[in-house]
Structure 1
Amino acid sequence: MLDDSSIKNYYDFEFQDGNDKSYFFETKNGYFYQIKFKESSYLFSPIKTISPNSFEFVVDLVYPQGNSKVILDSVIPSTVAAIFKDFFKSNGLGTVVYIIDSSDSRQSARKRKFDSWVELFKGDDFFKVDAEIIDLEKNKIYSSLIIKTDNPNFNEIIKYFGSLSSTYSK
């Protein structure tokens, strides 16, 4: 777990507020990433007290673009963990959903990577629940919900998220 008192072991990042709450960082190998928390009130629209604080987590490799081979970088996981902690510091009662890209059939690898990132910051402060949706072509679509354990709507959010995977799985 990422400890705030430990020696800094993550890339410096910059926050930009806007339609998306975005964080940017550059790796030692010259890769430039954007981490977005996209406002996604539609995800929990039936729960009016929650929907304004709902976000979708997105990781974008901004540079280089294309199909270049990304070099494994052990500092990225702790950087993402530090970004999550910073995000929740400003959006404490927010909920974050990660819908894992399945367009290239590498969703299982993405899920494993995301799971390992969450373990770096989760501790007792955060709760993660996973769901799978099977689409019409029988592909698995993974998603995860991350929520602070002290969220007053914790049980209602978890229950609703679980119902989404049941409803949309074919």
Structure 2
Amino acid sequence: MHRIFDGTTSHLDAAALIWARATAARDGDAEIASLAEARPIIAGVLGASQRALLVVAEAGGQAEAFAAVAPVPGSEEIAELQYLGTDPSAWGTGAARELLAALPTLLRERGFGQARLSVYTDNERAVRLYEGMGWVPDGVPVPHHRTGKSEQRYMLALRVGSAITG
């Protein structure tokens, strides 16, 4: 069981290091980004809005997964899960699943009615997780603006009766 909490003011560096290790493992890169390279990625999300949030899943005092979330620009109703990462050493432990299970409550408490995310379509592990947790595809896959890889947007209604609007 993981402790899920708001780590916005305390776990930026831990999240950045998880992101560096997770993306290197996902992409098969031998070189892992340094903290100096990874930190601005997560800090950029947290600096985008006062409503931005860094949710952390921790076990045994170690951060194992995180979600960096901020409002969609121009739509304060929709929270965008911009980054979700699980340390490769914690893959299969349930850290991401437990974090995603707690996320709707945390987002509702902050006034969001919907959440969205985008995921590479070839990231089968993540796609299975999101779909299994109730996220639904929104539209058709499109090329990622930087990498050109196929990416699918997913939406999640956070309130009963909330219609999905993308």
- The alignment's TM-score, normalised by the length of structure 1, stands at 0.54
More divergent stretch after superposition (18-27 vs 28-37): 28-37
2:92 is aligned with 1:72: yes
Unaligned runs of 5+ in 1: 1-8, 46-50, 120-127, 162-170
Equivalent positions of 1:110-129 (< 5 A) are 110-116=126-132, 118-119=133-134, 128-129=135-136
Number of residue pairs matched by the alignment = 121
What is the letter of the counterpart of residue 136 of structure 2? Answer: V
Deviation at 1:91?
1.8
CA–CA distance in structure 1, aligned partners of residues 84 and 108 of structure 2: 17
- The alignment's TM-score, normalised by the length of structure 2, stands at 0.55
| Cα distance change, pair 82–69 in 1 and its aligned pair in 2 (3 A) | closer
Structure number with bigger Rg: 1
2:79 is aligned with 1:55: yes
- Secondary structure, aligned partner of 2:92: coil
Deviation at 1:55?
1.7
CA–CA distance in structure 1, aligned partners of residues 95 and 56 of structure 2: 14
2:3 is aligned with 1:11: yes
Contact 1:24 1:33 in 2 (8 A): yes
Contact 2:57 2:98 in 1 (8 A): no
Equivalent positions of 1:115-154 (< 5 A) are 115-116=131-132, 118-119=133-134, 128-131=135-138, 132-135=140-143, 139-147=149-157, 148-151=159-162, 154=163
Residues 2-31 of structure 1: CA distance to partner in whole angstroms, max 9, x if unpaired? xxxxxxx54242353863222123234944
What is the letter of the counterpart of residue 144 of structure 1? Answer: Y
Identity %: 8
Structure 2 match to 1:86: 106
What is the letter of the counterpart of residue 114 of structure 1? Answer: Y
RMSD: 3.3
